[in-house]
Amino acid sequence: MHTLHKQQQFFYPCTINLTNIKFTKKELALLDHGMQYSMQKPLKSYWTNLIMETEKAIKLLDVRIQYAFRIMATRKLRQIYNSNNVNTTHRRQLYILKCLNHKITTENAMITPADNGKTIVIIYNYEYSNKVHTFLSENNFHTIPKNPISKDQKHIQNAIHQCDLIIHKKQNKHI
Average pLDDT rounded to a whole number, residues 148-171:
77
pLDDT at residue 102, as a whole number = 96
Say if residue 107 is in the same domain as residue 71. yes
Residues 135 and 165 in one domain: no
Tell me if 7 is assigned to some domain: no
Residue 160 belongs to some domain of the structure: yes
More confidently predicted of 160 and 5: 160
In a domain, 126, yes or no: yes
Are residues 104 and 158 both part of a single domain? Answer: no
Q: How many CB atoms lie within 10 A of CB 157?
A: 13
Domain of 78? Answer: 15-143
pLDDT grade for 117, boundaries at 50, 70 and 90: confident
For residues 105 and 164, membership in a common domain is answered with no
Same domain, residue pair 60 and 139? yes
Q: What's the average model confidence in pLDDT over 157-174?
A: 73
| 10 lies in some domain | no
Q: Would you say residue 133 lies in a domain?
A: yes
Is residue 56 situated within a structural domain? yes
Residue 6 lies in a domain: no
pTM, to two decimals = 0.57
Number of domains forming the structure of the chain: 2
Note whether 88 and 109 are same-domain residues. yes
Q: Is 60 contained in some domain?
A: yes
Query: What does the pLDDT look like over 18-62, one tens digit per residue?
Result: 999 999 999 999 998 888 887 766 667 678 888 899 999 999 999
Q: Do 84 and 154 belong to one domain?
A: no
Query: What pLDDT is attached to residue 13?
Result: 73
